[in-house]
Amino acid sequence: METKFWELKKDPEAAIAEAAALIAAGEVVAFPTETVYGLGADGLNPEAVAKIFAAKGRPADNPLILHIADPEQIETLTGGLNANARALMETFWPGPLTIVIPRSEIVPDAVTAGLDTVAVRMPSHPVAAALIRAAGCPIAAPSANVSGKPSPTNAADVAEDMKGKIAGILDGGNCGIGVESTVVDTTSPVPTILRPGGITREMLEERLGAVEIDPALNGNPALRPKAPGMKYRHYAPQAPMYLYEGKQAAQRLAEAALHACKQGMRAGILCDDAVKTRLEGSLRRGHSLEILSWGEGKSDLAEHLYELLRDFDRLTPQFIIGMGVDERGLGLAVMNRLRKAAGYQILLAEDDCVTVKSGKVFPEFLMLADN
């Protein structure tokens, strides 16, 4: 299949109209949102939805989010909204929040994977909103990556995964937030975060009072996540990855990087600007490391994480050593993605020692702490 590519800088209205017509005709089109790119199709048309699963190679038991452009559009999709659901819609829409609510009859089983709930989100990205309005239907859209790869945050990364498999790609530049929306189950007695994302736990608590976090998110393989998609190996770079967490993560990561370099290992290093600058100051030209920085704070990390993981796939290091951040604010979402990327191979660097937090096989030198 030939994939159309629309550059939105030129004539955005014509491009969006063309893309919307393809969606209305049952085709799949990728489009930008404020979180990551989505792979969109008519959410009320089971054949169109089936094409999304085929393009992504997505397991059929993993339900999709329906994207709407106006809050009223939700009424026909649900059996009823409780006070928590309404409070979340009023406070955080449009924006990076998905609510899980009881489904109505018109939502196809292909979208909900047979569950009696449906996930709905109203994105704030102007291109996404215009596309949904022009298509005249709720748009079912997962992230626009091949299943198992990091979500795409720019059109080139979408094309890498989807060229030849879908009808078109709307290029709206880079996504601002960079990690997927927060998914909140509003049907449980206490609203529960099924996937941390752009709307933080603190923001939800401020609005709702108590909020729970799905206990399966801590990586315990014995627990089954309530969002089916959270159980898959995800966001994973091809090279094995190890993650330092804790107060001394930056320091230990720098020591391990220098050790790897001395041994001539082609290690990938994922860190912030401060650590990158420090490392480069003590390395010779032509060293063996691939050091990629996300910038300064947690929002830079969220914005660039997936792009950097894809860069590592191109650079093919022997392994990657990453640096964690604390879990406040956006930290919860980025740490969730980083831990998954590392397959829960995690070292805790605190109190002048390094201990295994989870995981099994670590290269010996990652465990060294010299005081």
Binding site for Mg ion (CB under 5 A): 143
Reading the block at residue 144, the tokens are 């626009």
- Strand 65-67 and strand 38-42: pairing? unpaired
Of the pair 63, 191, the CB lying nearest ligand TXA is at 63
Which residue among 3, 12, 62, 367 contacts ligand TXA (CB under 6 A)? 62
Determine the Cα–Cα distance for residues 62 and 230; give it in Å rounded to an integer. 9
Q: Which entry of ligand TXA, Mg ion, none binds 118, CB below 5 to 8 A by partner kind?
A: ligand TXA
Least spacing, CB of residue 309 vs ligand TXA, in Å: 15
CA dihedral 15, 179, 47, 163 (to 10 degrees): 60
Crossing angle (nearest 10°) for helices 298-315 and 331-341: 20
Least spacing, CB of residue 167 vs ligand TXA, in Å: 17
Question: Are the C-beta atoms of residues 177 and 303 closer than 8 Å to each other?
Answer: yes
Least spacing, CB of residue 330 vs ligand TXA, in Å: 14
Which residue among 84, 98, 192, 200 contacts ligand TXA (CB under 6 A)? 98
Q: 181, 185, 180, 182: which is closest to 226 by C-alpha?
A: 185
Region of 32-40, 157-165, 208-216, 289-297 interacting with ligand TXA (CB under 6 A): 32-40
Interaction between residue 196 and ligand TXA (CB under 6 A): no
Question: Are the C-beta atoms of residues 318 and 239 closer than 8 Å to each other?
Answer: yes
Question: H or E stretch including 262?
Answer: helix 249-262
Reading the block at residue 288, the tokens are 């063996």
Which residue among 33, 78, 84, 293 contacts ligand TXA (CB under 6 A)? 33
Question: Are the C-beta atoms of residues 6 and 171 closer than 8 Å to each other?
Answer: yes
Region of 3-11, 20-28, 136-144, 322-330 interacting with ligand TXA (CB under 6 A): 136-144
Reading the block at residue 86, the tokens are 């309404």
Question: Binding mask 38-57 vs ligand TXA (x if CB under 6 A, - otherwise)?
Answer: x-------------------
- Number of shown-chain residues binding ligand TXA (CB under 6 A): 29
Kindly state the DSSP code that residue 351 receives in the 8-state scheme. T
The residue sitting closest to ligand TXA, measured at its beta carbon, is 229
* Positions in 141-160 near ligand TXA (CB under 6 A): 141-143
Interaction between residue 112 and ligand TXA (CB under 6 A): yes
Kindly state the DSSP code that residue 371 receives in the 8-state scheme. -
Interaction between residue 254 and ligand TXA (CB under 6 A): no
Question: Are the C-beta atoms of residues 5 and 171 closer than 8 Å to each other?
Answer: yes
Q: Which entry of ligand TXA, Mg ion, none binds 121, CB below 5 to 8 A by partner kind?
A: ligand TXA
Interaction between residue 181 and ligand TXA (CB under 6 A): yes
Reading the block at residue 312, the tokens are 């590592």
Binding site for ligand TXA (CB under 6 A): 33, 35-36, 38, 62-65, 98, 100, 112, 115, 117-119, 121, 141-143, 180-181, 183, 194-195, 226-230
